[in-house]
Amino acid sequence: MMYQKCIVCGEKFGADEIIYLCRRCGGLLEVDYDYDLLEAKIKKSDWQSLPLSVWRYKDFMPIRGSSKIVSLTEGGTGLHSCQRLARILGIKHLYVKNEGENPTGSFKDRGMTVGITKALELNVETVICASTGNTSASLAAYAAKAGLQCIVLIPSGKIAYGKLAQAMVYGAKVVQIRGNFDRALKIVLELSEKHREVYLLNSINPYRLEGQKSLAYEICDQLNRQPPDRVVLPVGNAGNISAIWKGFTEFRKLGLVDRIPRMTGIQAEGAAPIAQAIKNGRAEIVPIDKPETVATAIRIGAPISWKKAIRAIRESGGTAETVSDEEILEAQKMLARHEGLFVEPASASSIAGLKKLFEAGKTDEDEVVVCVTTGHGLKDPDIAIKISEKPSEVDAEIESIERLLGLSRYMPATVISR
Ligand code: F0G
């Protein structure tokens, strides 16, 4: 009913094989299903009566039963209609799918609930990942819930404080490397090939991406099966855009929706190999040696899933754009001040990218757009404080506060009572 398949040469591998790249050609793997069987299965199931969450879609997931599911209640995040921000941007229909509402504050939880459940099915005892922060926080939490050992490799000094705090408090073995994310990913890939007992849960693991595809399913269901025209999201290692596109294509294959949104990937200027390849019409990316951006979550120069991402963008008729750090931080503030949504800088790049594309005439004002905000603003408190107005400090006296706020003096009590 399901297997792992190479996206390049089509070679198939068993669903229970621990394998991260195609043994024949080295290509990326994805989970494939017999969609006729899947269609028959979901027709008989009562999934549509379940609440919105990753596990509403259990029938679509590569999991054998319910007994091993490790859940912290992930998914079911808000799809916020952002009319005030839409008006400011000059567009008509803007929604934000706010993934910061997940249990550890990012979309990674969708992947980890499935990835860790799969790890239990495979009788794994130790899990590992490289991370710019959110993956490590999420993996550490789910490993703790499942009673597994967890090792995370992070670039020293380059992950936001909230994320570091999470990985540490959940009890992971946190290893800071003197090198960037790309280097960390190379190391964990090599380590997990060499030491088979250590199970890799970066997004190269196709089971993790199966969980993340639920984001697309949710958008379809929240919009009554009328998919948006466009989905805009930040791209780092490029797993998420690939997973979301797979989710939309599956809903279409199963006859649940009739079209797929234009997948639109946004990267930070200093870390934009995929956006550059799309803009220049190249078939392959040119990795960036020293990626740099304020949005540390997407500070990635050699995205492992670039091939999947380029396929998602091209086949959906989408596009990619780059945004500067200033544009990212401005978008972060706009979203917070006009919509009450506090997201981390990488997440705000989706808004910044949409603004830039619309202003350049590359998107239409009538489009229904969903921007995915991938992580919570509290992940990176340092940035939030840096970009905001400092609090005022005054004496603890009512007069001082009246003076500060420009409030007129109290009316005498006799006047008030009249
Ligand atoms: N947004 C946030 C907040 C992220 O943490 C990440 C990736 C992305 C976007 C990009 O997603 O890699 O699937 O294209 N963070 C990874 C991590 C790399 O280690 O937490 P992607």
Atom of ligand 1 at shortest range from CA of 234: 9
Q: What is the pTM of this model?
A: 0.96
Residue 13 has pLDDT above 90, yes or no: yes
- The string over 379-392, giving b where at least 16 C-beta atoms fall within 10 Å of a residue's C-beta and e elsewhere, is bbeebbeeeeeeee
**DSSP character for 377?**
G
- Among 77, 98, 240, 351, the mutation site with the greatest number of ligand 1 atoms within 8 A of its Cβ is 240
Degrees, nearest 5: CA angle 128-194-204: 50
Task: Determine the distance separating the centroid of ligand 1 and the alpha carbon of 22, expressed in angstroms.
Answer: 23
| Cα gap 260→246, rounded to integer Å | 10
Tens of pLDDT, residue by residue over 30-56, are 999 999 999 999 999 999 999 999 999
Question: How far does residue 65's CA lie from ligand 1's centre (Å)?
Answer: 29
Element holding 88 (H helix, E strand) = helix 83-89
pLDDT score recorded for residue 77 = 98
Question: What is the 224 CA–ligand 1 centroid distance (Å)?
Answer: 28
Q: Distance, CA 237 to ligand 1 centroid (Å)?
A: 6
The CA distance from 374 to 377, in Å, is 10
Substitution candidate for ligand 1 out of 77, 132, 166 with most atoms within 8 A of CB: 132
Interval 195-216 mean pLDDT: 98
List, for residues 146-184, the tens digit of each pLDDT value.
999 999 999 999 999 999 999 999 999 999 999 999 999
- Residue 131 CA, closest ligand 1 atom number: 19
Residue 413 has a pLDDT of 59
86-144: per-residue pLDDT in tens? 999 999 999 999 999 999 999 999 999 999 999 999 999 999 999 999 999 999 999 99
Query: In the predicted model, is pLDDT for residue 273 greater than 90?
Result: yes
Residue 412 pLDDT greater than 70, yes or no: no
Residue whose CA is at the smallest distance from ligand 1 atom 9: 234
For residue 400, report the distance from its CA to the centre of ligand 1, in Å.
Answer: 45
Q: What pLDDT is stored for residue 304 in this prediction?
A: 98
For residue range 303-315, list pLDDT tens digits in order.
Answer: 999 999 999 999 9
- C-beta separation of 104 from 80 below 8 A: no
Ligand 1: lining residues by beta carbon, under 6 Å: 106, 131-135, 203, 234-240, 297-298, 344, 346-347, 374-375
Distance 187 CA to ligand 1 centre (A): 18
Q: Is the pLDDT of residue 416 over 60?
A: no
| Average predicted confidence (pLDDT) for the chain | 97
Q: Which atom of ligand 1 is nearest to the CA of 309?
A: 14
pLDDT at 409 exceeding the cut of 70: no
Return the pLDDT at 408.
Answer: 77
Biggest CA pair distance of the chain: 90
Q: Which residues pair with 370 in a beta bridge?
A: 95, 231
Of 238, 320, 305, 308, whose CA–CA distance to 275 is shortest? 320
191 Cα: distance to centroid of ligand 1 (angstroms):
21
Interval between CA 411 and ligand 1 midpoint (Å): 55
Backbone angles phi, psi at 331, to 5 degrees: -65, -35
Q: What is the pLDDT of residue 300?
A: 98
